[in-house]
Structure 1
Amino acid sequence: MQTIPRDSSLDSTLDVVREGFPFIWNRVRGLHSDIFQIRLMGQRAICLHGPEAAQLFYEPARFVRTGAVPRRIQTTLMGQDAVQTKDGNEHRCRKDAFMSLMTPQSRQTLMQQLAREWQAAAEHWTGQQQIVLFNEVLEVLCRAACAWANVPLPEKDARHRAQDFWAMVDAFGGAGPRHWRGKRARTRTEDWIEGVIKKIRKGKLHVAADSPAHVMAGLRDADGDLLSARMAAIELINVVRPIVAIATYITFAAVALHEYPAYKGLLRTASDDYTEYFVQEVRRDFPFAPFLGARVREDFTWRGCDFKKGTLVLLDVYGLNHDPRLWPEPNVFWPDRFRNRPISPYDFIPQGGGHYSGHRCAGEWITIEALKQAVTFLNDGITYDVPAQDLRYDLTRMPTLPASGFLMRHVRITGQPAPTAVQTSACPFHH
């Protein structure tokens, strides 16, 4: 039986905090192994890297999510007992509801709403000397997501609701004030959305039958029982919150447009869908998720290594997207690498891997389409100046952003609206 290499630290918890996104990738290179073990918060954990490891990680017969997500993340990022923590029939019931919202027609409706919000925001920006793009995009996405979901959002509440959605995301890698801000934001948001669910169920709020609000208000468990209003609210938040979180990718895309201006012309003139190559490279190159967790369902052996029931297993996401064995010159921003590169469900996993029937992010299509729309609008729909600023991002901070949030000055509208019909061919794994 092969012995799994072990990290030298007695406990790696502080190393994760100190190193952030590349924690697993650093040890893959240092130990010369795609599998190694650590102690994390006092418990044994196995770290995995690579496409074969990702394929293993997404086998439901091998792993479960129950017990894998720390309570501190459930009470901020995703909500307690949410779909991401479920397995088997309970997961399938909820995931099917999420996937029902990802039809081409539904996504098109969201893109149309987003186009209106981009245009309205740009008109507001023209009256400002300077804006922080990240903060503005949070609000654009929040307004559009709530309108699409049929969640009423009073004008006076839009900015602080958008900030609350971000606070929940920002808390997942934070401690102290960041964590407490996320917990308070979650409580406020759950109270708000639970009220929406109750109004829908009582017939006091009428929403479209195919809308996210209606679908989640009617969500049932594997036994056919209606979920509590609180649980339905948590899942409706899990529709809206990830859309708001796309603001991180959009901000990084703006950085890429600024730092690699040669691509601006290609985005306008290339005969093929160069915008898709560009946004896929943004998703590969810039940090979004460091790693994912699961627990071993039953004892098994893989590559001669023993995996014991209940063991925590972490799959490297950031490192997989920067492995030179998969991505030549991985630290170079080069969209053309996606031109003729087939993508499997396991070798490019910025939002999780496997198939959409499992634990791969249901909103990946929306992320790609929203990014393509945003890149086109930033490149063609407006002009702006980029003042001197700190665009560095800290890989030890999870999640991370450019330090300045991307400052823009003297925004002007060109008259070219944001596209409302955005197609993607990058998500072939749904079945």
Structure 2
Amino acid sequence: MVKPLPKEEGLDHTIAWMNEGYLFLSNRMNQFNSDIIETKILGKKCIAMRGPEAAELFYDSSRFIRYGALPKKAASVIIGKNSVFHLDDGQHHKRKQMLLNVLNDEQQIQLEQISKNQWEIAIEQWKQKDEIVLLDELEQLFTITVCNWIGIPLYAKNVSLRTKDIRSMLTAFTNKGTNYFQGNQAKKRALKWISYIIRQVRTGRIHPKEKSPLYQIAWYEDSNGKLLSIPNAAEEVINIIRPFVAITRYACFSQLAILENKQVKHRLHKDSQYVDWFIQEVKRFYPAVPFVVAKARESFIWKDIYFPKNRLVLLDLYGSNHHQDTWEEPEKFVPERFQFLDKKDRYKLIPQGAGDLEFGHRCAGEGITTQMMRISLEYLLRLDYDVPDQDLNYKLNQVPAQPSSKIRLQNIRIKE
């Protein structure tokens, strides 16, 4: 027997979503005492759900598709109109394999070497400054790193502009009215820039290494044996750059966790296993992606709930990672909780999504996220610094969230 879904009254709840951010879905689920509800955002009816079972359902490709799920405005700025995120079935699998090949073990080793080199350079520069704003510095460091790794020429005079544009794309959907316009303009500049680079590669004016991400994407052939169009290839490159730079927020939150949990610092220096738990807890505890969206492929019933064909479905990532039925004392920062987590459980910890990495829509860059967090933590733990009075709080109605001060550190020095 089909059960009616708890449903929020009202014509549309987009404004509430913009005002509440990460807590929007969980607030309503808690209100109705249900892990699955119906709401309406951007004029569209949505089924929203949270928890491991919901995540397993959401990543069942026989039930859901991604094509057409994201609103056009959001898609154009965040991930592009024709990127891998919008593909399904065979097309998705082939494009996903290209990305996984780009992110292979050999490339990750090169990325680690480039990243560590850039950290060494950055720290020497920080030592010469009275104060740094950590998040701003990390965004520039990561922009230089990812362009170097991909094979994109990035001249010193352009570093500030490219970093600013990537930041604008990341913050396009905060609740500040001008951010979408700025993000859209930044995306157009980035597309023009990377499209020019792709043309240079294809006409032989730039010669990236054959195993580099730039080369692989520039010469990738789709399921019809055709090269990606220049705009589509540029989108895929940007879809490596933008989320890579977004890792800076995890790195920044790692520093915040150290500042706010004094007991963790000693163990991070001494216990490599604890470092793994710490990174996982940073991903779980701090806000990153609020939710992901898909569409029902066909009508079906799950747990007596009816999912109509083409109905938008939202998986509440932040709410799932803070669900009291899944996590003991979820509002406490406790790295030790991961001592007993089964690594085969792909649907419990879902900061960037869930499911199968190779065949599903799980984030292809998840391993690189962990790798970059580990490297960042390694270098941050080498530093001594003074912490001036500042507002370290972050707002859950701001997407993406960040410490209000972006973490100001003074008198940077290397530990003796």
Cα distance between partner residues in 1 of 2:230 and 2:292: 28
Opposite residue 3 of structure 2, the aligned amino acid is Q
Distance 1:154 1:51 in 2: 45
1:291-319 Cα shifts (integer Å, max 9, x gaps): 11001111111111111111111111001
Trace 1:20-99 onto structure 2 (pairs within 5 A). Answer: 20-99=21-100
Change (3 A) 1:278 1:18: same
Provide the rounded CA distance (Å) in 2 between the counterparts of 1:259 and 1:319: 22
Matched residue, 2:16: 15
CA contact (8 A) 1:296 1:308 kept: yes
Measure how far apart 1:243 and its partner are.
Answer: 0.8
Match of 1:419 in 2: none
Stretches of structure 1 that go unaligned for 5 or more consecutive residues are: 416-431
Residues 402-424 of structure 1 show CA distances to partners (whole Å, capped at 9, x for unaligned) of: 11010010001237xxxxxxxxx
Equivalent residue for 2:300? 300
What's the offset of the Cα at 1:340?
A: 2.0
| Equivalent position of 2:315 in the other structure | 315
1:368 counterpart residue number = 370
- Match for residue 225 of structure 1? 226
The equivalent residue for 2:283 is 283
Q: What does the per-residue CA deviation read over 1:235-282, in whole Å, with 9 as the maximum and x for residues that have no partner?
A: 011112111111111111111111112111001112x42111111111
Contact 1:64-1:296 within 8 A present in 2 as well: yes
**Which position in structure 2 is the counterpart of 1:133?**
134
3-state SS of paired residue (1:273): helix
Alignment coverage as a number of residue pairs: 413
Q: TM-score, normalised by structure 1?
A: 0.94
* Cα 1:160–1:398 shift into 2, 3 Å: same
Matched, 1:346 2:355: no
Percent identical pairs in the alignment equals 36
Letter in 1 for 2:388: P
SS state at 2:190 partner: helix
Q: CA deviation at 1:80?
A: 1.9
Structure 1 counterpart of 2:364, which letter? A
Q: Cα distance, 1:175 vs. partner?
A: 5.3
| Secondary structure of residue in 1 paired with 2:351 | coil
1:2 Cα deviation after fit: 1.2
Listed as ranges, the gaps of 5+ residues in structure 2 are none
Is the aligned partner of 1:160 residue 2:161?
yes
Deviations 1:142-193 (A, max 9, x none): 1111111011101111122112112111103445310111011111111111
Indicate how the Cα distance of structure 1 residues 255 and 147 shifts in structure 2: closer, same or farther if over 3 A, else same: same
Give, in whole Å, the separation in 1 of the partners of 2:176 and 2:95: 30
| Contact 1:123–1:413 (8 Å) recurs in 2 | no
Measure the CA separation in 1 of the matches of 2:91 and 2:193. Answer: 25
- Alignment CA distance shift 1:255-1:387 (3 Å): same
SS in 2 for 1:47: strand
State whether residues 74 and 81 of structure 1, in contact with CA within 8 Å, keep that contact through their aligned partners in structure 2. no
- Three-state SS of the structure 1 residue aligned to 2:363 is coil
1:378 is matched with 380
Residue 75 of structure 1: how far off its partner (Å) = 2.1
Runs of 4+ in structure 1 deviating by more than 4 angstroms, as ranges, are none
CA contact (8 A) 2:388 2:408 kept: yes
SS at match of 1:331: coil
1:200 aligned partner: 201
How far apart, CA to CA, are the structure 2 residues paired with 1:37 and 1:282?
A: 30
Q: TM-score, normalised by structure 2?
A: 0.97
Amino acid at match of 2:61: P
- Supply the distance in 2 between the matched residues of 1:222 and 1:173 (Cα, whole angstroms): 36
Task: Kindly provide the amino acid, as one letter, of the partner of residue 374 in structure 1.
Answer: S
CA distance in 1, matches of 2:150, 2:124: 24
Determine the structure 1 residue equivalent to 2:261: 260
Does the CA contact (< 8 Å) of 1:48 and 1:316 recur in 2? yes
Q: Distance in 2 between matches of 1:167 and 1:26?
A: 28
What is the rounded CA distance, in whole Å, between the counterparts of 1:175 and 1:187 in structure 2?
Answer: 20
Question: In structure 2, how many angstroms separate the alpha carbons of the residues matched to 1:273 and 1:257?
Answer: 16
* Cα gap change, 1:173 to 1:297, in 2 (>3 Å): farther
Secondary structure of the structure 1 residue equivalent to 2:318: coil
The DSSP-based 3-state class of the residue aligned with 2:402 is coil
